[in-house]
Amino acid sequence: MAAERELSYPTVPAVLIGWLGRHCDYAGRGLGEALLLDAIKTVATAPIGAHAMFADAIDDTAAAFYAALGFTPLIRRPRTLYLPVATALSLLSP
């Protein structure tokens, strides 16, 4: 309990999206984006009360992929990116 009082911010529920991958023969066909959007839809519409999603990018190219879809890199860990669920829901709107 004492450690909780020392925090300067509240605990916020979040979801970590596991690594997504596709075979290199299928690069450029939009499959990675389709997988990520499906994961976003699953999290954003689930009754779990998460406020954000996190992704750990394997390299700078993967980090740029997530950033292009609205994820924001953490300042001290630029290959860890987050996306608020409210923002994710706007990605799903036509």
pTM of the model: 0.78
> What is the spatial distance between Cα 40 and Cα 55, in angstroms, rounded to a whole number?
11
| pLDDT recorded at residue 40 | 85
**Among 46, 35, 33, 40, residue whose Cα is nearest residue 16:** 40
Residue 1 lies in a domain: no
3-state secondary structure of 69: coil
Residue 3 lies in a domain: no
Residue 2 lies in a domain: no
Residue 60 lies in a domain: yes
* Successive 10-residue mean pLDDT values, the chain, 94 residues: 49 82 85 87 84 91 91 92 88 72
Count up the domains in the chain and report the number: 1
**Residue 83, domain extent:** 13-92
